Each structure stands twice: as structure tokens, then as C-alpha cells.
Amino acid sequence: SQQGEEDPQALSIQEGENATMNCSYKTSINNLQWYRQNSGRGLVHLILIRSNEREKHSGRLRVTLDTSKKSSSLLITASRAADTASYFCATDGNGNKLVFGAGTILRVKS
């Protein structure tokens, strides 16, 4: 079963615009992670936010976490064509088992 569910399922934007993806989960967590997957490749870790953190930045990425609502958002600012990929949230609600959501497909048009 999938712990995290991303929204929207797909997102298409113009280069330079911001992209926001959301993730909702069901059980309490220690941390939440975001990964990117380019077509035909393995997943690449982007950022980890712990349950006692509310916001975290990494370059053009900004992640927020609201444990009361069991939700997180990933913001990519000033998007580039190279940001085109699928983005997944993952939660550790089941101990050491990291469970992934269904993902958001992001397309950045140049």
C-alpha cells in the first residue's frame, strides 16, 4: 500500500515558472523525503525533512511539512527543462520501510 499520495498526478509548466507538488500521508512519521526520477533511470534523493522541521531549502528546492495535516509540499523555483521528471515523496511510517507515493510527472516546456 502507498503511504504517500502526490498531487497533482501531472503538471506542465513553462520554463522559469515555479512548480508545486503536494504529498499527503496517513500515519505518523520520523521523516519525509522527496526523490526525482528521470525517464529510464533510478530515483535520486533530493531532500529529507524531519518531523520536527517545518521547512527546508536546498538550492531551488523548498520543502514544507505540516505534521498536523499529514502533508508536505515541494516547490521548485525558476524551473528548467532539465527539471522534467517524476517526483516522489516517501515516508517512513512503517519503521525502516520507506514507502513511496504514486508520483507527480512534471513537464517543463522550453
What's the CA gap between 71 and 109, in Å, rounded?
A: 28
Considering only residues 3-62, where is the footprint of other proteins by CB under 8 A? 30-31, 33, 35, 41-45, 48, 50
CB of 91 to other proteins, least distance (A): 9
Q: How many Cβ atoms are within 10 Å of 93's Cβ, its own excluded?
A: 18
Query: C-alpha 6: how far from its chain's center?
Result: 8
Q: Residue 26 forms beta bridges with which residues?
A: none
> Judged by CB under 8 A, which of 103, 105, 106, 108 binds other proteins?
103
Which residues contact other proteins (rule: CB under 8 A)?
2, 30-31, 33, 35, 41-45, 48, 50, 88, 90, 92, 96-103
